[in-house]
Amino acid sequence: MEVKIIRKTDDEIEMEIRGETHTLMNALKAALLEDRSVETATYTIEFPGVSEPVLYVKTKKNYDPIEAIKKASSRLSEQCEDFLKLFSKKAKA
């Protein structure tokens, strides 16, 4: 995975996330939209398998979109850890 910031302002960011697919992008978008300070979170993949995903995030004023992405990523990671623990416990039964 490689991240390239295409454009950033105080309340917007557009970034390319190389090597990823709809799997991560959908989960990240959903986690971002859980944040009340995020106005818009979306992504595009122009040509699947050829182009890279581009994430766009717009936040309310005085809320850094990079912070929003960090918090959303952290929540997503916690959800994956919780699932892994639950699954591992049930798989032993």
Record the pTM: 0.90
User: What DSSP assignment string belongs to the chain?
Assistant: -EEEEEEE-SSEEEEEEET--HHHHHHHHHHHHTSTTEEEEEEE-SSTTTSPPEEEEEE-TT--HHHHHHHHHHHHHHHHHHHHHHHHHHHH-
Q: Which pLDDT belongs to residue 93?
A: 67
Residue 9 token pair: 């302002």
* Confidence at 49, pLDDT banded by 50, 70, 90: confident
> What CATH number should be reported for the domain holding residue 60?
3.30.1360.10
Q: Say how many domains are in the chain.
A: 1
What mean pLDDT, rounded, does the chain reach?
95
Region at 48 (left for phi over 0; alpha for psi -120 to 50; beta for the rest): beta
Residues of the domain holding 23 = 2-92
